[in-house]
Amino acid sequence: MNSCYFLRFHLSCFLLLASAACCFSHSSLIGVHPLDEEYYSSEVIKCKDGSKSFSRDRLNDNFCDCPDGTDEPGTSACPAAKFYCRNLGSKPLFIVSSHVNDHFCDCCDGSDEHDGIICCPNTCVMGGNAESTISHCKPKASKKGVKWEESVHNLTGLKLLFVLQVVVVIFLVFLWRFRCCTRSRRRLYH
């Protein structure tokens, strides 16, 4: 009986740590698909079409260095670029770069409006998208503002994972209680 509790405790701890690691592991690069994060990790990055190379500090600097838009995945500077919406809790998608910071919430997680002029609520879990209420935000003053917004985004994902964990724990408690009731009934009838 004690080994069963011990196993459940370790399983719960593992689920908690795994979901926290998942939440905080996503990239600080805006508009980049998770499979491309390694591509952008080096200090000198080559345009995907092979035409040029650029330094990491020129990534998302709102100036189009690569004709294919490789250097601007998170801005609207390059017409050929695509922005990746993570949409945690819904279906991820690519949008054209001209929809980035256009004052319209194209991604249900609001990540395409990261300039701080408008705030798009995260409606991914609710199944909503652009028809949601938009509020005006104060413009960001510095890179610290970007870090703060990323932290808020991380916390939003953490809240979702916490709710999912609570549901799993409730389910496991229900299952355990059902098992105990079944055992006690067997003892009564035998």
Q: Residue ranges of the domains in the chain?
A: 26-139, 144-190
Q: Alpha carbon of 2 to those of 155, 182, 186: distances in Å?
A: 35, 19, 21
Backbone angles phi, psi at 92, to 5 degrees: -65, 155
Range of weakest confidence among 75-84, 95-104, 151-160, 163-172: 151-160
In this predicted structure, the answer to whether residue 171 has a pLDDT above a threshold of 60 is yes
Question: Over the stretch 154-163, which tens digit does the pLDDT of each residue have?
Answer: 666 677 778 8
62 touches 72 (CB < 8 A): yes
Rounded Cα gap, residues 12 and 188, in angstroms: 32
Please give the mean pLDDT across all residues of the chain. 77
164 touches 19 (CB < 8 A): yes
Q: Which of 91, 154, 101, 152 is nearest to 124 (CA)?
A: 91
In this prediction, residue 126 carries a pLDDT of 66
Higher pLDDT, 155 or 84: 84
In this prediction, residue 83 carries a pLDDT of 95
Question: Over the stretch 19-75, which tens digit does the pLDDT of each residue have?
Answer: 444 444 444 688 999 999 999 999 999 999 999 999 999 999 999 999 999 999 999
DSSP string covering 8-57: HHHHHHHHHHHHHHHHHTS-SSTT--GGGTTTT-SSEEE-TTSS-EEEGG
In this prediction, residue 152 carries a pLDDT of 61
In this predicted structure, the answer to whether residue 130 has a pLDDT above a threshold of 60 is no
Backbone angles phi, psi at 119, to 5 degrees: -115, 120
Higher pLDDT, 140 or 127: 127
